[in-house]
Amino acid sequence: MAIGGVLRPGHAQIRVMNLEEGIHFYGNVLGLQETGRDAQGRVYFKAWDERDHSSVVIREADRAGIDHFAFKVQSKSVLSKLDSDLRAYGVNTEWVPAGEMLETGERVRFQVASGHMIELYADKGVVGNGLGMLNPEAWQPMAEKGIAPTRMDHCLLYGPDIEKVEALFRDVLGFYKVEHIVLEDDKTDLAIWLSCSIKAHDIAFVRHAVPGMLHHVSFLLDSWEKVLRAADLMSMNRVSIDIGPTRHGVTRGTTIYAFDPSGNRFETFAGGYQTYPDIPPIKWTMDEVGAAVFYHDRKLTPSFLEVVS
């Protein structure tokens, strides 16, 4: 059984300002596998070790950012129950019909207090990872294309009222807080990391005046060496790097942050720890916020705090 019925992050729909640039970047530089294009002009991708049809969807728009972040839930009955629970909690929901996205079943869409659209779904077509489910090989040769993450892992979103967001994710969706950074009053959270699994986080939020902003979508690599390889490939392809390679204090992951051609920040990371919902959340204070975010330098960079899409 999944914790709370929400299995894991499912997909992110990202706005890009030039579709062909976006297709080249996500397909060749990041190294995701294209799995389809629809009549709305959206292009679908998956990481090589993901089984489901897609985890990243891009569409052309006049500004960058994120349309929605979706989670896969355990079953259709869980999806219906979560919809009822959300409405009982006072959240307006909308059912998006099956097939509106390629290979994706019906979705429940709702907006959280930070201004972000969140979606839940139970069904998505399975395309596999090329290895099969019987006596598979250890990895897929196609995984060497570009940076080649193993999965889309999580996202970090910027917006107001993150305490209300945390309450909804906790009380309705079954998430729990793994780490947080508190402001000088020692009570108000600046940032929260939430999990529906045993990962250090499946989604995170930072308090920000402007609602609905994207800080980054994150992709998992196997090792610190793969993070360093990603940095080399970013340099070879003239990708704009924001920070790294370095390590976080929060989650203890090794990381590098950079931007796609439209200015959407993405992360390639490895490591971090596993956790469980009975473990109390780790707390960071503002006098150590530099080490919390960038453990090696122990200081923040203005671009990391201020640049969002």
Identify the helix (H) or strand (E) that includes residue 228: helix 224-236
Q: What percent helix, strand, coil does the chain show, rounded to 5?
A: 20, 35, 40
Verify that 175 and 266 share a domain, yes or no: yes
Verify that 159 and 212 share a domain, yes or no: yes
Verify that 86 and 160 share a domain, yes or no: no
Verify that 63 and 209 share a domain, yes or no: no
pLDDT of residue 180: 95
CATH number for 23: 3.10.180.10
* 120, 169 contact by CB (below 8 A): no
Verify that 158 and 262 share a domain, yes or no: yes
Query: CA 184: distance to chain centroid?
Result: 28
- Confidence label for 207 from pLDDT (cuts 50, 70 and 90): very high
248 is catalytic: yes
pLDDT of residue 292: 81
pLDDT at 305 over 90: no
* 146, 31 contact by CB (below 8 A): yes
For 11, the token pair is 């997909």
Tell me if 77 is assigned to some domain: yes
From the candidates 26, 44, 121, 257, which is the catalytic residue?
257
From the candidates 11, 116, 201, 208, which is the catalytic residue?
201
Q: Say what percent of the chain tops pLDDT 70.
A: 99
pLDDT of residue 1: 38
201 is catalytic: yes
> What's the number of domains the chain is made of?
2
From the candidates 116, 154, 180, 208, which is the catalytic residue?
154
Q: What is the mean pLDDT of residues 5-30?
A: 97
pLDDT at 291 over 90: no
From the candidates 180, 208, 215, 216, which is the catalytic residue?
216
Tell me if 75 is assigned to some domain: yes
Q: What is the mean pLDDT of residues 145-149?
A: 94
pLDDT of residue 4: 66
pLDDT digits (tens, 9 = 90+) for 210-261: 999 999 999 999 999 999 999 999 999 999 999 889 888 788 989 999 999 9
Tell me if 132 is assigned to some domain: no
Range list of β-strands (E), the chain? 6-16, 33-37, 43-46, 56-60, 65-73, 93-96, 107-111, 117-121, 151-159, 176-182, 189-195, 203-207, 213-220, 240-247, 253-259, 265-271, 282-284
Tell me if 61 is assigned to some domain: yes
Higher pLDDT, 287 or 167: 167
pLDDT digits (tens, 9 = 90+) for 185-199: 999 999 999 999 999
- Confidence label for 138 from pLDDT (cuts 50, 70 and 90): confident
- Domain stop point among 74, 93, 126: 126
d(CA 93, CA 157): 20
44 is catalytic: no
Tell me if 137 is assigned to some domain: no
Tell me if 141 is assigned to some domain: no
Tell me if 176 is assigned to some domain: yes
Tell me if 221 is assigned to some domain: yes
- Domain stop point among 92, 109, 126: 126
Domain extent for 170: 151-306
pLDDT of residue 128: 87
Verify that 188 and 226 share a domain, yes or no: yes
68 is catalytic: no
| Total length of the chain | 309
From the candidates 103, 119, 179, 267, which is the catalytic residue?
267
Verify that 113 and 243 share a domain, yes or no: no
* 140, 26 contact by CB (below 8 A): no
Verify that 186 and 300 share a domain, yes or no: yes
Per DSSP, the three-state class of 280 is coil
Higher pLDDT, 288 or 236: 236
Verify that 101 and 162 share a domain, yes or no: no
Higher pLDDT, 307 or 82: 82
- Confidence label for 24 from pLDDT (cuts 50, 70 and 90): very high
Verify that 173 and 28 share a domain, yes or no: no
- Confidence label for 276 from pLDDT (cuts 50, 70 and 90): very high
Verify that 108 and 155 share a domain, yes or no: no
Verify that 68 and 172 share a domain, yes or no: no
pLDDT of residue 62: 97
From the candidates 248, 273, 276, 288, which is the catalytic residue?
248
Q: What is the mean pLDDT of residues 156-160?
A: 97
Q: What is the pTM of this model?
A: 0.95
Q: Which residues contact 206 (CB under 8 A, 6 or more apart)?
A: 156, 157, 158, 162, 190, 191, 215
For 140, the token pair is 């897929």
